[in-house]
């Protein structure tokens, strides 16, 4: 697995576009998020369909075509330095194949931020654009709006990435040891759902795989992990970082499953790493080479997330 191209860091006054590729966005949360971004001396602009709701499927933020058009227009706008997702939910897989990846590749590198359902776009940006992306808080996300650690870590990553070369999670080892590799991953259910799709990578070999999920029963988490194992997608992975399992069953129950399904990989596995659907979620750059020390609960990037 190769390192990907790092986009330029942001500077005061940078223009950032907010898009909604997945679920509908509450207007009050959007406005609160825009206020945070303005407080960082950024110039946020909202894509035309961010507050839309699909006429028949109210779990979608507008039509597939409109959500794709918003993302593509924001990415291809030369005045935009970064694209931030407003929230997750569901919908990326319905619109991802409508994007003109050739046109987006011609634009060059920019910052892209999101998580949860946005996992499918992290995969696509890696395979089609070859770009580092940030698995981090979203502009209208509840945890982002209410949590200083989540805001501060994302802000440092965007403006001064050299200050967050080492990410200390406070977590512990599920399986001890050190491992090196290129960071990738995201929401477990999306990684399983993406298997075999044209925008997903064929394997996690050579990577440090980040996994988290939300609101899933243990048997479903078992299904997703078993699917990845049976498909050979985890063959050759160098290490695993486990984030949050919010609104799943008790962590003791989830942990038992993680030991059962991941213990046989024979690689370092760090748990409770503080990213995903949790308070104070850390920002993790996908596509950057790093070293995981599972015993110390640290991740050290070879280079800053952004140039």
Catalogue the active-site residues: 116, 212, 277
Give the strand pairing for 111-114 and 284-286: unpaired
Please enumerate in sequence order all residues whose Cβ is within 8 A of that of 33, keeping only pairs 6 or more positions apart, or say none: 18, 86, 138, 139, 140, 141, 144, 145
Reference 141, options 20, 15, 1, 230; nearest CA is 20
* 88 within 8 A of 22, measured Cβ to Cβ: yes
Please calculate the CA angle 84-299-273 and round it to the nearest 5 degrees.
70
Please enumerate in sequence order all residues whose Cβ is within 8 A of that of 268, keeping only pairs 6 or more positions apart, or say none: 173, 175, 176, 177, 178, 179, 239, 240, 292, 293, 294
* Residues comprising the chain, all counted: 307
Please calculate the CA angle 286-292-296 and round it to the nearest 5 degrees.
135
Backbone angles phi, psi at 79, to 5 degrees: -85, -10
The rounded distance, in Å, linking the Cα atoms of 186 and 33 is: 22
Please enumerate in sequence order all residues whose Cβ is within 8 A of that of 57, keeping only pairs 6 or more positions apart, or say none: none
């Amino acid at each position: 697995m190769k390192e990907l191209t790092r986009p330029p860091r942001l500077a005061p006054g940078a223009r950032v576009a907010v898009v909604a590729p997945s679920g509908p966005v509450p207007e009050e949360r959007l406005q609160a998020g825009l206020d945070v971004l303005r407080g960082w001396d950024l110039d946020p602009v909202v894509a035309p369909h961010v507050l839309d709701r699909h006429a028949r499927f109210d779990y979608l933020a507008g039509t597939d075509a409109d959500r794709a058009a918003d993302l593509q227009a924001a990415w291809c706008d030369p005045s935009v330095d970064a694209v931030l997702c407003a929230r997750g939910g569901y919908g990326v897989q319905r619109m991802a194949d409508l994007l003109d990846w050739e046109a987006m590749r011609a634009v060059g590198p920019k910052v892209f931020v999101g998580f949860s359902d946005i996992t499918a776009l992290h995969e696509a940006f890696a395979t089609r654009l070859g770009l580092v992306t940030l698995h981090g808080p979203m502009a209208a996300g509840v945890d982002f709006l209410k949590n200083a650690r989540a805001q501060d870590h994302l802000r440092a990553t965007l403006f001064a990435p050299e200050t967050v070369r080492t990410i200390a999670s406070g977590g512990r080892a599920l399986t001890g040891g050190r491992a090196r590799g290129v960071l990738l991953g995201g929401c477990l259910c999306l990684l399983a759902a993406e298997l075999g799709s044209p925008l997903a990578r064929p394997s996690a070999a050579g990577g440090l795989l980040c996994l988290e999920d939300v609101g899933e029963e243990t048997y479903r988490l078992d299904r997703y992990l078993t699917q990845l194992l049976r498909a050979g997608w985890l063959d050759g992975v160098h290490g695993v970082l486990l984030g949050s399992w919010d609104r799943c069953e008790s962590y003791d129950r989830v942990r038992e499953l993680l030991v059962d399904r991941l213990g046989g990989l024979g690689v370092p596995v760090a748990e409770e790493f503080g990213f995903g659907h949790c308070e104070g979620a850390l920002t993790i750059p996908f596509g950057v080479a790093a070293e995981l020390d599972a015993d110390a609960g640290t991740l050290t990037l070879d280079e800053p997330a952004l140039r």
